[in-house]
Structure 1
C-alpha cells in the first residue's frame, strides 16, 4: 500500500450536465505530480447512484458522454499512480426512489440518513434485500472491465434495521423482532454475508485485490470486522467533527493488529462534500506527519468538480504535505510501535453493567489518550485478545468490569511483573460488589457525593497543595493493606433545591471521605472516572494525578523529552533495518467558528531534549530526512540527544548494531 494517496469523491447530481467535459489527461497527470500523489481512489459509482463509465450493471450518469473511469485509470497508470476504485455501497439515491422497500428502516418505519424524500440527502440500503445482488453485479463489472488496484466500498457496517426483509428473516428463524439482542445477531450475519459475498465476487475475477469496507470507524475489540478488510483506512478528518485526538486513538489500536493501514484526512476546511473549502497547508503537513509517526500511510480527501477539471489550488496544497512525506518514506515503512503502556480500550471491553446510564462512555478512551499524549508516555491501545505481557503498565479506564476470563489474564500479567492503573468502576467485578483485583482497598459502594474533592498526598508539578474538585462519579473505599497516595474530601452536601451554595457546587467540608488514590502490589487505583472527566473538563489536576501514578509505576520510561504538552512523540522500530525512529511533532490547534479545530501557524521549537532507553548498542544518531549527524551520549542504557530545531515534524534515527 502506497504512502501518498488521494481519495477523490465525485457525488454528482443528475440535475447537473454536462459531466466531465473539462477532463484532460495531461492536466489530470500534472495535478497528480503537483500533489506528489502515488495513488488516487477514483470512482465507479457515487452516492447518487450513477456510474461514471458505460455499464450494464448500472446506468451511466445522464450528463456523461464518455468513459471517465477508464480515462482516469489510463492517465494515472501512465505515470505510475495506482487507482483503487470507489463504489458507494450503502447509498444509491437513484435506486432508492425506485425501490424504497429495500431501504433500512427503524422501529417507526423511518428511513436514514434522511427521514423522507422531501429532504435533501441520501437513504441507506439494507444488505438483507435484493439490492445486494445488484451491488455485487456492479462490483463484478468494475473489477472485470477495469484495471483497478483495489476496491473501496463506502457507507457500510453492522446496521440496525427493521425493514420488512429483516422482520421476515427474524420470524422465519423463530426470533422475536421486538428482541433487539436477537435482531442484532441477524444484523451481524447480514453484514458478514455482505463482506463474504463481496470477497467471493472480487476473488473470482482478481484474486488478492485489496478490499476495504468503510464504515467511518474501526471499532476497537471487533477484530472480526477489521479482518473482513485486506487493509484499514482510518477516516479521521480533524475539522469534520473528529478533532485532533481521534486519529492517535484509532492508530494506536490499528497498528497492533498487524495489517497495513492509512490515516485519511481531507483538504477541506470542514468535511466531505465541501466545494471551495481549503485548510492551511501547515494543517495538512501536520496531519500527514501524524499518520507516518503512528505507522500509517496517508490519504487526503478531495472532491472533483462536475466538469472533471482537477483543482490546482487543491493539489498545490496536498503537494505541500506529500513532498515532505515522499522524502520520509524510507524511515516509515514496516514499523512496529514501541510502547511502555497499553490502554485496554473501553470500547473493546464494554461498559461496566452496574455503571450503565444510557450514555456513551467513549470519553474515557479519548481522555486517557489525551493524557498519555500530553505526558509523552509511549503507548498502544489494545483489546482483550492482545498479549498484555508486552507492556510494563496496563490502564483500565473508568468503567472496565473484571469478569473471570479477564481476571485470569490480569493475574497472569501481574505474576509476570506487570502493573495496573485502574480508575473509577474499573477493577470491580461484574456485580459491582468488590474488587476483582487486590488494590489494597475494600469497596464500600458508589460515593454519595458528586462532585467531591481530592487532596493529594504528594507534591504536584504545576499546582500547590489544595483540595481539588473532581466532577465525575467516584467510589467510596476503605484502606485494606494499600498505601494511601491521596484522600477524598466530602463537600458539605450535594447541590439540591434546599441545600445549595454559590453558583456551581458546595465547597469542601475538609472531612476525610476515605482513600481517593491507593497503591498496592498490583498497581495504583484512583477512585474517580478521571479519564472521562478529563475529556469533558480538562482539569490540570486530573492529568497531574494520573502522570504521578504512571511515574511511580514506570520508574524507567523508555523515552523522556522536554517537548511541551501540545507536542506529540512516538518511537517506531524498523527491525529489519536495525533502527529506531523517534518522531516529534508540534502544532497548536485552535478553535474557530462552531467548534472547528484548525492549524495555521507552525511555531518552531529549539533544543528539544530527548532520552531513549534501549538495550541495543546505538552506533549513530541522525536527523531524517536531512541525514544530519546528531551528537549523542550513551549512559546506562539511555541514549540522549538534543534536537536543535523542530518545525512541525522531525524524525531522529538511531541505528543500532
Structure 2
C-alpha cells in the first residue's frame, strides 16, 4: 500500500499557520495563482505537496462544516491547491493539526488540558493560553475524527499528515477526563505534583505509573486515526509527525498496566515522517542518527528540512545546506521533505523554487541508488524506548557550576546520540535499534553497544546472553538494565553472569577518573593520562571479568567533613572539577569471555559525555575499546578519512546480482557561536581510502552517479578502493556480479584498474 511513498523522493511541505487576527488570508490565492504555483512546483522537480486543511490555531482553510473557518480566509486555499496539484500530476498530502486550538475553549472547555493549579496551558508553540486539548477527552470522537473524514472525502488526498498529535501527549493533565479515566484504569487518583525531577523519577512509582499510562493513550489514538482514514479512503496513506522515533516511545497499556513498548511497525502508520529540527540546529547530525534507527523499522520514512533558520519566518538558508541535508537523508535510506512557508496571502517566493530546482537536479541522479537499498547491519546501538523517556538525564547530573558560562542542555537520548556520533566519526557502519527490532536481527550483528540504557526488558537481556554465548561481542555501559521496562529496580544485576561482575549502588561523587592498566595504557597515545569522566559510576565487584582500567575517586578533601554525599560536595575549581585522588573505587573497563563471545563493561556514561563535549581523550578510550572487541580489519567497513566525513553502507539485489553502496557525505560547518549551523562552503576532501568486506570478488567499482571507474584491489576478503575526491556527497558502488549491460571497453578499463592482486 505504501509503494508510492517509497518511490517519491521529493516532497514539499507548505507551512501555513495563521493567527486569528491575520487578515487577507489566501487573498491572492486565486485559481490562477494555484495553477501557477503547481506549475512552479512541477518545474522544481517536486513530486508531492503537503498543504494545510486545518492549522495549529484550530482553523480550517476550506469551507468546513465542522471546524471553525479562519475568520480572515478569502479563498478556498485547500480546495484550490488540491485541484491545481492534481492537474499537474503531483501527489497531494493534507496537513491537519490534532491537539491545539485557540477556539476550542469557547466551544468545549471540558476538552482542554488543565494544569494542577487549575489553569489551562497553551499548546505547542502557541502564545495563546488555553490552547492545548487533552487526548483523554471526547474531542477526538466528537470533533477531530469527523473533521478528518470530511477533509478526506472533500479533497481525496493521496496522504494525510497529522501534526501536534503524539508528541503533545507528555505533560501532566488534571482535567476531569484524565481524573476519571485514570481512576477507572488503575484504581488510583492522579499523582500530586509537582512532577519529580528526572534524577528522582525512578524513585517515584506513582509518577512512573502515570507517565506510562499517559503515553499509553497514544496507541489507541493512532489506531483510531488509521481506522478513520482507511474507512473513508483505503488508498490514502497516513503519517503522524514524529511518531516512530526512538526518543518518543509508545507503550501498549491495558487497564493501566504496561503490556509492551511498541515497535514503529505496530503503530498502524503507512510511513514515518518527522520535522525533527525545529529552530535551526544541526540537520546532518539529526537526520543521520535518527535515520539510522528508522531505517531498521521496516517502514518508509522521510525528514523535513526547511528554507528558514527556524520555523515561522521567511529567511533562506544556503542551498548548499539543502543539498548536503538531502544527501544525508538518502545515505541512511530516507526520503526528502522540503519545507517552505507561503506568505499570509497564499503566495510563495519564486527564488526559493529556482534554488530548489538546482538542489533537486543535484539529488535526482542519486535517487536511483536508494531504490531497493537496505542498510547493512554491523554494529548495533540499542535505544531502549523507555530509557529515552524515564529516568535521569545523561551525563553530569550535578557538581558542575551550570551558572558559569552557558549550561549545556542535556537529554536522556545523549547516550544513544553519543554512541552514534562516535561511530560516525570513527567510520564504523552502525544502525540504531529498539529492543524488539534488535532481538530479531541479533544474528546479523558483529557488535552490540548498550549505552547506559537503564530500562530494559528481560527478553533483551536473555537474548544478549545467547548472542554472546554463541560468539557475539557486547559493550555495556553504566546502569544498563538495572531497571525493568516498567521502571522498577531489579533486585539483582541482570547482566552479572554475562559481564562477569556485579554492580551495586552508585558511587557518591559526580566525577571520577579512569586510570588505564599497563597493557591498555601502552596501546593508547595518551594512555598515561587519567580520563576525566563526569556522571554516575557504579560500585562494581568482579566475578570472572578482567579489569583493564580502574576508577579513581576525586581527592578526599573535596568532601566537607569527610561526608560523601551531595550536600557535602564542595566547589573546587572554576567550574567544579576536582583532581583525581588515590582511592581506587573499582573497575572502570572490564572484559569477560562468555561462551564463545566476549563482553566489555565501561563504568560510567562516556557516550553521553562524548556527545556533550566531543573530547578527543574520551574518543581515544572508546575507540580503543571498540578495537579490542571488534578490530578494524574485521569490520564490514573501515576507512582512512577525516572525522567530519560520514560513511554509510547499504546493499541491494540487482538484475545482475548484488552490490554494496558506500555513501560518503562531507559535513563541514562554518564557525558559529550559537545554535544555527551552516554548511555553505564545503572544501573538497582528497584521498579517502575505503576497505569494504565482501563475500565474493567484485566485478566493478564505480563512483556514482558519475559512473567513473575507480581503482581498486581485492585481498580475498576486502575491497580496497580510493575515493579520489569528495565534495558534498559521493556513492562508491561495488558490484559483485558483472552486469549484462557492461560494455567491453568498460570491462577492459576495469581490469586495468584492479592492480596486481585484484
Q: 1:116 & 1:337 partners in 2: Cα distance?
A: 36
Which whole-Å CA distance do the structure 2 matches of 1:649 and 1:354 have between them? 38
Deviates more, 1:372-381 or 1:242-251: 242-251
Question: For the residues of structure 2 that align with 1:572 and 1:636, how far apart are their CA atoms?
Answer: 21
Q: Does structure 1 conserve the Cα–Cα contact (< 8 Å) formed by 2:694 and 2:719?
A: yes
Match of residue 306 from structure 1: 344
Which position in structure 2 is the counterpart of 1:32?
A: 41
For 1:97-108, what aligned pairs fall within 5 Å after superposition?
A: 97-108=106-117
Matched, 1:92 2:101: yes
Residue deviations 1:52-96 (CA, integer Å, cap 9, x gap): 222222343333333222221222222222111111111222334
Question: Match of 1:162?
Answer: 174
Query: Which stretch has the larger CA shift, 90-99 or 564-573?
Result: 90-99
Partner residue, 1:252: 292
Q: d(CA) in 2 for partners of 1:466 and 1:554? A: 24
CA distance in 1, matches of 2:513, 2:317: 42
Deviation (angstroms), 1:509? 3.7
Match of 1:319 among 333, 354, 357: 357
Q: After alignment, is 614-623 or 194-203 more displaced?
A: 194-203
Distance apart, 1:403 and its partner CA:
5.9
Match of 2:133 in 1: 125
Structure 2 CA distance for aligned equivalents of residues 571 and 539 of structure 1? 26
Equivalent of residue 681 in structure 2, options 601, 607, 610: 601
**Which digits, 9 at most, give the CA deviation of each residue in 1:598-630, with x for residues without a partner?**
322211111211110011332111111111111
Residue in 1 aligned with 2:745?
none
Q: How does 1:206-285 map to 2 (within 5 A)?
A: 206-215=233-242, 218-219=245-246, 222=250, 223=262, 227-237=267-277, 239-241=279-281, 244-270=284-310, 272-274=311-313, 276-285=314-323
SS in 1 for 2:56: coil
Q: How far apart, in 1, do the equivalents of 2:670 and 2:609 lie?
A: 21
What CA deviation, in whole Å up to 9, does each residue of 1:220-252 have, x standing for no partner?
A: 554356623111013222753566433222211
Do the aligned partners of residues 601 and 210 (structure 1) sit closer, same or farther apart at CA in structure 2, a change above 3 Å counting? same
- Contact preservation (8 Å) 1:20, 1:68: yes
**C-alpha deviations, 1:161-213, integer Å up to 9, x for none?**
32122223334557323245665566456433433332222222211311112
Q: 1:318, CA displacement in angstroms?
A: 2.7
**C-alpha distance in 2, partners of 1:402/1:62?**
50
2-side partners of 1:478 and 1:166: how far apart? Answer: 46
Q: Return the match for 2:16 from 5, 10, 25.
A: 10
Segments of 5+ residues of structure 1 without an aligned counterpart are none
On the 8 A contact 2:244/2:272 being kept in 1, the answer is no
* Alpha-carbon distance in 2 for matches of 1:528, 1:615: 38
1: CA distance, partners of 2:230 / 2:492:
52
Contact kept, 8 Å, 1:624 with 1:650, in 2: the verdict is yes
Residue equivalent to 1:647: 727
Pick from 619, 625, 650: which aligns with 2:699?
619
Indicate how the Cα distance of structure 1 residues 128 and 480 shifts in structure 2: closer, same or farther if over 3 A, else same.
Answer: closer
The 3-state SS of whatever aligns with 1:541 is helix
Residue 516 in 1 paired to residue 588 in 2? yes
Q: 1:636 to 1:121 in 2, by over 3 A?
A: farther
Partner of 1:526: 602
Aligned to 1:64: 73
Residue in 2 that maps onto 1:379? 430
Checking the alignment, whether the CA contact within 8 Å between 2:24 and 2:72 is kept in structure 1 is yes
Q: Give the Å deviation of 1:141.
A: 1.3
Q: Deviations over 1:520-554 (max 9, x none)?
A: 21321111211122222322222211111111211
Aligned residue in 1 for 2:496: 436
Find the partner of 1:200 among 214, 217, 227.
Answer: 227
SS in 2 for 1:596: coil
Correspondence 1:544 to 2:620: yes
Task: Give the Cα separation in 2 of the matches to 1:245 and 1:201.
Answer: 35
Cα distance, 1:414 vs structure 2: 1.1
C-alpha distance in structure 2 between counterparts of 1:46 and 1:444, whole Å: 51
2:161 matched residue in structure 1:
152
Mapped contact 2:521–2:527 kept (Cα < 8 A) = no
What is the distance in 2 between the residues matched to 1:355 and 1:649?
Answer: 35
C-alpha distance in 2 between matches for 1:500 and 1:367: 28
The correspondence for 1:405, drawn from 459, 470, 474, is 459
CA distance in 1, matches of 2:589, 2:120: 49
Q: Quick one: distance in 2 between partners of 1:489 and 1:419?
A: 27
Provide Cα deviations, 1:37-61, integer angstroms capped at 9, x if missing partner: 1111011111222222222223433
User: In the TM superposition, what is the alpha-carbon distance from 1:482 to its structure 2 partner?
Assistant: 3.0
Distance 1:494 1:27, change over 3 A: farther
Select the residue among 476, 494, 505 that pairs with 2:577. 505
- Equivalent position SS for 1:85: strand
Aligned to 2:354, the other structure's residue is in SS state helix
Q: C-alpha offsets along residues 563-605 of structure 1, whole Å, 9 cap, x if unaligned? A: 2111110001122452211100012234635422232221111
- Written as runs of structure 1 = structure 2, the 5 A alignment for 1:459-474 is 459=522, 463=526, 465-474=528-537
Give deviations 1:238-294, integer Å, cap 9, x for gaps.
753566433222211111111111122222112x212x2211111111111110000
Instruction: Name structure 2 gaps, 5 residues minimum.
Output: 192-206, 251-261, 399-409, 484-488, 562-569, 738-758
Question: What is the alpha-carbon distance in structure 2 between the residues aligned to residue 294 and residue 115 of structure 1?
Answer: 29
Quick one: distance in 2 between partners of 1:353 and 1:44? 38
Cα RMSD, aligned residues only: 3.0
Contact map agreement 1:396 1:427 (CA 8 A) in 2: no
Paired with 1:489 and 1:172, the residues of 2 have a C-alpha distance of: 51
Q: Does 1:20 align with 2:26?
A: yes
Change (3 A) 1:98 1:29: same
For residues 284-328 of structure 1, what are the alpha-carbon distances to aligned partners after superposition, in whole Å with 9 as ceiling and x for unaligned?
A: 111111100000001111111111112123223333332222111
What's the CA shift string for 1:452-500, capped at 9, x where partnerless? 2222323466536322222222224455433332233343226345776
In structure 1, C-alpha distance between the alignment counterparts of 2:218 and 2:189, rounded to whole Å: 18
Give the SS at the match of 2:701.
strand
Using the alignment, how far apart are the partners of 1:308 and 1:249 within structure 2?
A: 35
Tell me the alpha carbon deviations over residues 630-655 of structure 1, each in whole angstroms, 9 at most, x when there is no partner.
12111121011111111111111112
Q: Secondary structure at the match of 2:552?
A: strand
After superposition, the Cα gap between the structure-2 partners of 1:418 and 1:162, relative to the gap in structure 1 and judged at 3 Å, is: same
Q: 1:478 to 1:137 in 2, by over 3 A?
A: closer
Alignment of 1:185-196 (within 5 A): 187-188=214-215, 190-196=217-223
| Whole-angstrom CA distance in 1 between matches of 2:209 and 2:537 | 35
Distance in 2, Cα, partners of 1:295 & 1:641: 23
SS of match in other structure, 1:301: strand
Superposed displacement of residue 338, structure 1: 0.8
In 2, are the aligned partners of 1:378 and 1:559 still within 8 Å (CA)? yes
Hey, what does 1:572 align to over in structure 2? 650
TM-score after normalising by structure 2:
0.80
Given that 1:177 and 1:183 are in contact with CA atoms closer than 8 Å, whether structure 2 keeps it comes out as no
Give me the whole-angstrom Cα distance separating, in 2, the residues matched to 1:172 and 1:509: 55
Aligned length: 654
C-alpha contact (below 8 Å) 2:246/2:383 kept by paired residues:
no
Aligned 8 A contact 2:242 2:272 in 1:
no
